[in-house]
């Protein structure tokens, strides 16, 4: 590097990784290496090599991305400055790599071929680590378990998994509800990258605002949304909509959840309480714990866009140097978790923390939320898919997805609210709450959306976590709860995991509705295929407070 380029590169790192000083190494970059795949297609990669001798040698870091090789998302320059050789490869069909980009479907075979290629190169340092967030993390999961089973000599020796999961079908159809904002927004973003590669690479983000996308969220049928946003059908978006059942081979062939326990390499995980992948990433953590290989875990007050930023990078580097270079670590516990509501970091032996016990809080017809059983009654509200209940915040690819005040939203006629009395003592919930709503709808298909809020003494009702479940659709038919003699079914709704303290004097609030559009696509109510449905059904919804089988929410309470 010239002196000017070196200075500029270091300055850019300080901008991208706030508070992180550049490492001691300069580096060189070899661009456009051609990596052969098993079918003859060549993928393009860049190699970042630290200048000078690194003792002891650190692992070669492999990063595979569909978002370009020069973007800050990879953190390749910062890793190289810390002494890691870094291979950044563009996924099939993206940014100069050959073939056609089909999200998720080729990452396993291409990743395995890439790992074998890396280990044959003269610059290989003797071990491999993988790194990256989101899709870059999915690419890691796609390879690790299968290679450990079938080709352990070429399997990665460590993984750094940030805000990610091994099964994108599960978030696309989240408990049966189509994640419209994420699915269509991401597809629109990838389409813009393909059309305006230079501009988007320079900006690093999709230009905003995107009025076409905003209008496309309201289009019916859903299958016309990509054309409304991008001017043409997007093949994978059509595939996602036409496969509502996660048991379809289309989804099972790209799910790597079953192979998570096969991974024997050390793992660092980082995620945020408001991240789109949080529930599944913590379930992957639990899989590894059950297999006797608990990973190092950090959960912070982040969404998918903030993504942990500098802390995740710093902890990843420390984790890798500890394992491969014997550098003493500063970590005092396997789990670090940020307690929202108290703004405190906690060092924990495991997640959920020991001492957590589930307690049930019942929904009363009066609007009270209380551990005591209710006296009966029914709460009613109307859901109109032509005027769908809007999303107010919540985990999504929208940058504005941190906790928000729900006070105005909770005054809507299609949102029901239940609140506790002011708490005499603080309450901490730590884990995955589950709402169990005895529910009846006049429509063939319906959604149950549940949100927990921290109700402050000044009236603010701040988001803690939420979740959704659809019933009566093509994708949910095998798991729909059976109705009782009165037509009520107990709908279990798992909510986002949380670690939150409700202070003394605050109230625990629960809202129940039937939508959060466009975060989740509106449910037309007919039970017809989601991608082609145009007819809508206005639905009368009922929540039962029957004493013997009352609607409730099970809260994991931590006795800290």
Percent of the chain with pLDDT over 70: 94
Read off the pLDDT of residues 479-500 as tens digits, 9 standing for 90 and up.
999 999 999 999 999 999 999 9
pLDDT confidence of 3, banded at 50, 70, 90? low
- The average pLDDT across 372-382 equals 95
Every domain of the chain with CATH number 3.40.50.1820 lies at 23-176+244-348
For residue 317, CA distances in Å to 26, 63, 82, 296, 311 come to 16, 14, 8, 13, 10
pLDDT value at 198 more than 80: no
User: Residue 201 above 80 pLDDT?
Assistant: no
pTM: 0.94
Distance CA 226, CA 188 (A): 7
pLDDT digits (tens, 9 = 90+) for 67-96: 999 866 789 999 999 999 999 999 999 999
Locate CATH 2.60.120.260 in the chain.
356-558
pLDDT tens readout for residues 19-47: 788 899 999 999 999 999 999 999 999 99
- Which pair of tokens denotes residue 18? 């706030």
> Given pLDDT bands bounded at 50, 70 and 90, which one contains residue 205?
very low
**Average model confidence (pLDDT) for the chain?**
94
**How many CA atoms does the CB half-sphere of 105 hold within 13 Å?**
13
CATH architecture of 356-558: Sandwich (2.60)
**How many Cα atoms within 13 Å fall on the side-chain side of residue 63?**
31
> What pLDDT sits at residue 276?
97
Q: Distance between CA 556 and CA 354 in Å, rounded? A: 11
Span 513-525, pLDDT tens digits: 999 999 999 999 9
Q: What is the pLDDT, as a whole number, of residue 7? A: 56
Q: Is residue 477 left, alpha or beta, with left meaning phi > 0 and alpha meaning psi from -120 to 50?
A: alpha
Percent of the chain residues past pLDDT 90, beyond the cut: 88
pLDDT at 10 over 80: no
Is the pLDDT confidence value at 194 over 90? no
pLDDT class for 8, splitting at 50, 70, 90? Answer: low
Q: Give pLDDT tens digits for 157-192.
A: 999 999 999 999 999 999 999 999 999 999 999 998
Residue 422, Cβ neighbours under 10 Å: how many? 13
Q: Are 140 and 65 in contact (CB under 8 A)?
A: no
- Cis omega (within 30 of 0) on the bond before 56? yes
Using CB atoms within 10 A of its CB, is residue 38 exposed (0-12), middle (13-18) or buried (19+)?
A: exposed
Q: Are 368 and 418 in contact (CB under 8 A)?
A: yes
287 pLDDT above the threshold of 50:
yes
DSSP E strands: which ranges in 188-276? 267-274
> Residues 52-66: what's their mean pLDDT?
96
> What is the three-class DSSP state of 368?
strand
Rounded to whole angstroms, how far apart are CA atoms 288 and 286? 5
Q: Which helix (H) or strand (E) holds 118?
A: helix 107-119
Architecture of domain 23-176+244-348: 3-Layer(aba) Sandwich (3.40)
For 104-126, what is each residue's pLDDT tens digit? Answer: 999 999 999 999 999 999 999 99
Q: At 79, which helix (H) or strand (E)?
A: helix 76-81
């Amino acid at each position: 590097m010239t002196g000017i380029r070196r200075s500029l590169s270091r300055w850019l790192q300080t901008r991208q990784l706030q508070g992180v000083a550049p490492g001691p190494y300069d580096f060189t970059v070899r661009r456009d290496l051609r990596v052969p795949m098993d079918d003859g297609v060549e993928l393009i990669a860049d190699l970042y090599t630290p200048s000078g001798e690194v003792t002891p040698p650190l692992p070669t870091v492999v990063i595979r991305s569909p978002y370009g090789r020069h973007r800050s998302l990879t953190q390749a320059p910062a890793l190289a400055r810390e002494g890691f050789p870094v291979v950044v490869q563009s996924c099939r069909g993206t940014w100069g790599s050959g073939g056609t980009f089909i999200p998720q479907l080729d990452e396993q075979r291409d990743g395995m071929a890439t790992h074998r290629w890396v280990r044959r190169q003269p610059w290989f340092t003797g071990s491999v680590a993988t790194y990256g967030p989101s899709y870059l993390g999915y690419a890691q999961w796609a390879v690790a378990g299968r290679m450990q089973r079938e080709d352990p000599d070429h399997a990665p020796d460590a993984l750094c998994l940030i805000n990610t999961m091994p099964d994108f079908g599960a978030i696309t159809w989240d408990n049966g509800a189509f994640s419209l904002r994420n699915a269509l927004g991401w597809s629109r973003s990838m389409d813009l990258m393909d059309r305006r590669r230079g501009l988007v690479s320079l900006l690093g983000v999709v230009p905003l605002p995107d009025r076409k996308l905003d209008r496309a969220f309201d289009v019916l049928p859903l299958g016309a949304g990509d054309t409304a946003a991008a001017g043409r059908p997007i093949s994978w978006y059509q595939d996602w909509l036409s496969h509502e059942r996660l048991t379809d081979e289309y989804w099972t062939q790209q799910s790597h959840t079953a192979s998570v326990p096969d991974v024997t390499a050390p793992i660092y995980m980082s995620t945020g309480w408001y991240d789109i992948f949080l529930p599944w990433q913590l379930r992957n953590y639990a899989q590894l714990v059950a297999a006797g290989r608990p990973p190092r875990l950090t959960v912070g007050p982040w969404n998918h866009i903030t993504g942990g930023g500098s802390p995740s990078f710093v902890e990843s580097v420390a984790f890798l140097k500890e394992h491969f270079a014997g550098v003493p670590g500063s970590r005092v516990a396997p789990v670090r978790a940020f307690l929202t509501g108290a703004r405190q970091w906690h060092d924990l032996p495991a997640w959920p923390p020991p001492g957590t016990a589930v307690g049930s809080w019942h929904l009363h017809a009066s609007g009270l939320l209380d551990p005591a059983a209710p006296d009966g009654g029914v709460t009613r509200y109307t859901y109109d898919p032509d005027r769908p209940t809007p999303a107010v915040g919540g985990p999504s690819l929208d940058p504005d997805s941190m906790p928000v005040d729900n006070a105005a939203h909770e005054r809507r006629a299609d949102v029901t609210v239940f609140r506790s009395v002011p708490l005499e003592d603080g309450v901490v919930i730590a884990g995955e709450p589950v709402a169990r709503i005895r529910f009846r709808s006049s429509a063939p298909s319906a959604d149950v959306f549940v949100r927990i809020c921290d109700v402050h003494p000044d009236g603010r009702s701040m988001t803690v976590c939420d979740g959704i479940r659809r019933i009566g659709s093509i994708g949910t038919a095998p798991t729909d709860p059976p109705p009782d003699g009165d037509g009520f079914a107990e709908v279990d709704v798992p909510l986002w995991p949380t670690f939150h303290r409700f202070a003394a004097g605050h109230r625990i609030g629960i809202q129940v509705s039937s939508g959060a559009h466009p975060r989740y696509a509106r449910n037309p109510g007919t039970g017809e295929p989601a991608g082609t449905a145009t007819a809508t059904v206005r639905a009368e919804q009922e929540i039962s407070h029957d004493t013997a089988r009352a609607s409730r929410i099970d809260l994991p309470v931590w006795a800290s």
